[in-house]
Amino acid sequence: MVSLGSQVVAPEPSVSLRSRFRWQVFGVAAVALAADVVAKMVGVSTLTDGPVNLPGPLDLRLVRNSGVAFGVGSGLPVGLVIGATAAVTILLAVMIWRGGFPPLAGGLILGGAIANVLDRIGDGVVIDVFDLGWWPTFNLADVWITLGVAAVMLVAARAPAEPSETAS
């Protein structure tokens, strides 16, 4: 508080809460996007000779996925798939920008979605590199989106219920 004679003035916050939220989302999205891009680059450069079997359940395998989730829609025209995934990503970005998601969850979802759209724009496919054997091959962007959606669901499940209106 600053005293100006008889008037007490509260200092203005240097960054509004909404602006801080947006920077948090942007930061998480940028890190998620960068990690996915690096993982895909490493996968493309090192897995061309075939899969790498790692100890444990995870192997590395280069797959070029022309479809969307789990390869669904792999026969659709590339332009349609790119347009649809870009439109969904833009819709998500608007929802996240308006504060509809927790910052970490929103950033993970947005970073993963942007990473897959950018990957697809290059040659019409998304690079997948992680293989569990019993699950379709996936990439870090898929992990980020899944974790972000799970976080949103967890927050929604823990939110207090809205009081219902009862008819009198």
Instruction: For 131-162, give the DSSP string.
Output: E-SSS--B-HHHHHHHHHHHHHHHHHHHSPPP
pLDDT of residue 42: 95
- Our answer to whether residue 142 is catalytic in this structure is yes
Q: Which of 36, 119, 131, 142 is catalytic?
A: 142
| Catalytic, out of 36, 119, 128, 131 | 128
State the Cα–Cα distance between residues 74 and 120, nearest whole angstrom. Answer: 12
Whether 39 contacts 119, CB under 8 Å: no
Note the pLDDT of residue 13.
45
The parts of the chain modelled with pLDDT lower than 70 are 1-15, 164-168
Q: What is the pTM of this model?
A: 0.81
Distance from C-alpha of 7 to C-alpha of 10, rounded to nearest angstrom: 10
CA–CA dist 128, 141 (Å, integer): 9
* Annotation says 123 is catalytic: no
Q: What residue spans of the chain are helical by DSSP H?
A: 17-46, 78-97, 103-123, 140-158
Quick one: pLDDT at residue 100?
74
